[in-house]
Amino acid sequence: MGLFDFFKSKKKEKNEIDLIYKAIIAANLNPSLEDDCYNLVLESEVLVRTGRGKEYMTFSDGTLPVFSSLEHLLKDKSIDGFPSYDQVKLKEFITKTDYNSSKIIVNPFSEYHITFEIDKIEDDPLYKLMKNVYLAVKANATDSEIDLLSKDFYIGLINSEVFFCVTEEGEFMALNDDTIPIFSSLEHIPADKRGSAKKMKAQGRELFIDHPNCTFMLNPFSKYNKLIKPGLIAWINSASEQDSEPGRIMRVAIPKDALVTIPEEIPEKMLAYLCEAFRKYPQIIAGCISLILFEGEGETTHYLISFVQETGTPDIDMEEMLSSGGGMTQFIEPCSYVDFKRVSLEEIEREKESCLLFYSLNM
């Protein structure tokens, strides 16, 4: 676009341009307004500088500068003569254009400017589901509304294809803390890795089942991301069940950083059921109940039943015991879980501050 074209449309665009810059000022003064500013810029027309070969110009770190008006573009003192640029709708530009930037900066040479991660979300349903959860939390939605959106996200996660990068030897390419980055689409992989790294894909459920002890991060370089720890894998893999399905009796790998504590409230009928069930097995010496709190697991109740069994006696099928005749599922909500493990009396004594003893041969 040339100078004549710009001045021809300047009067029509003045109000929109002023609105964009006002939004940038507001976001600088109040960071909570950044999302609103980003959405406004995303839906607006901006100027993008082009080189002699019509390539889009970026800074040395790969950041793409865009401008809300020619006035802001001309504040670049390094420009010699009249700059060449394209006027584009940013949303369409970042969705359809082949560029090598993961960030944009709006009006970098003006007093107020702002930087955003580039989110390519047009054809990425999983990213939209994750974003919906963040936006609901930010909007102070009710717990039930957030729980419903979270469940939608996890169902989408295990049923969607996710992408990841591997080395020439076929090993996961991990972050510095050994977390494995996975991506809801190829566009969320950083530009510097799109061409060089070998990219693979798998269904979320299969990936988590095959690697139950790994920690994953979904879209770690994007604005909205999610840490997925080993302890969450079991109930994520069950998240696609119908809401009407009873709670699950299952074994779950408990990460070291999970918080195990005494439940604030335990249904009396559930405790009565457990005591009666344990009395049927004379080899059970004691039993206690705890609540497991995993980071990010706000939408489930997760009980841990620990039991002491007399040494040398045949192993008890605790899953069968807690499931038969309706079992524990009578007393827990849908999408809640019961884990169990065999322990020693010494372990119960050592962990007595975090568990409630509900059964003992001496009781």
Q: Say how many Å lie between the first and final Cα of the chain, rounded.
A: 86
In a domain, 172, yes or no: yes
- 3-class SS of residue 136: helix
pLDDT at residue 135 tops 70: yes
State mean pLDDT over 326-331: 70
Q: How far apart are CA 270 and CA 320, in angstroms?
A: 16
Check residues 9 and 202 and name the one with the higher pLDDT. 202
Instruction: Give the pLDDT band of residue 340 (cuts 50, 70, 90).
Output: confident
Cα 288–chain centre separation: 33
Q: What is the pLDDT of residue 240?
A: 41
pLDDT at residue 145 tops 50: yes
| Residues 191, 213 within the same domain | yes
Contact 188, 146 (CB under 8 A): no
For residue 354, give the CATH number of its domain.
Answer: 3.30.460
Residue at a domain's end among 71, 94, 117: 117
| Residues 67, 168 within the same domain | no
Instruction: Give the pLDDT band of residue 113 (cuts 50, 70, 90).
Output: very high
- 3-class SS of residue 32: helix
Per-range mean pLDDT, top range of 190-199, 222-231, 233-242, 348-357: 348-357
In a domain, 76, yes or no: yes
Q: How far apart are CA 46 and CA 24, in angstroms?
A: 14
| Residues 218, 280 within the same domain | no
In a domain, 324, yes or no: yes
pLDDT at residue 47 tops 70: yes
Q: What is the pLDDT of residues 210-246, one digit of tens each?
A: 887 788 999 888 778 888 876 555 555 444 443 334 4
| Residues 212, 255 within the same domain | no
Total domains, the chain = 3
* Mean pLDDT estimate for the chain: 77
In a domain, 209, yes or no: yes
Of the candidates 303, 289, 298, 300, the residue with the CA atom closest to the CA atom of residue 348: 289
Q: In what order do the strands lie in the sheet with 226-228?
A: 180-182, 216-218, 226-228
In a domain, 162, yes or no: yes
CB-count burial class (<10 Å; 0-12, 13-18, 19+) for 338: buried
Contact 149, 132 (CB under 8 A): yes
In a domain, 348, yes or no: yes
Tell me the percentage of the chain whose pLDDT exceeds 70: 77
In a domain, 235, yes or no: no
Contact 63, 104 (CB under 8 A): yes
Q: What is the pLDDT of residue 326?
A: 62
| Residues 256, 215 within the same domain | no
| Residues 36, 104 within the same domain | yes
Radius of gyration of the chain (CA): 28
Q: What are phi and psi of 111, to 5 degrees?
A: -60, -40
Q: What is the pLDDT of residue 15?
A: 47
State mean pLDDT over 265-275: 83
| Residues 202, 260 within the same domain | no
The range of the structural domain enclosing residue 54 comes to 3-117
Q: How far apart are CA 233 and CA 258, in angstroms?
A: 13
Residue at a domain's end among 60, 95, 117: 117
Q: What is the pLDDT of residue 121?
A: 43
Check residues 133 and 9 and name the one with the higher pLDDT. 133
Q: How far apart are CA 157 and CA 132, in angstroms?
A: 14
Q: What is the pLDDT of residue 96?
A: 57
Whole-structure pTM value: 0.43
| Residues 157, 217 within the same domain | yes
Q: How far apart are CA 275 and CA 289, in angstroms?
A: 11
Q: What is the pLDDT of residues 59-104, one digit of tens each?
A: 887 788 999 988 899 888 888 778 888 888 887 777 656 555 668 8
| Residues 305, 326 within the same domain | yes
In a domain, 239, yes or no: no
Of the candidates 204, 231, 232, 236, the residue with the CA atom closest to the CA atom of residue 218: 204
Check residues 123 and 141 and name the one with the higher pLDDT. 141
| Residues 108, 135 within the same domain | no
| Residues 164, 197 within the same domain | yes
Residue at a domain's end among 194, 228, 262: 228
| Residues 39, 111 within the same domain | yes
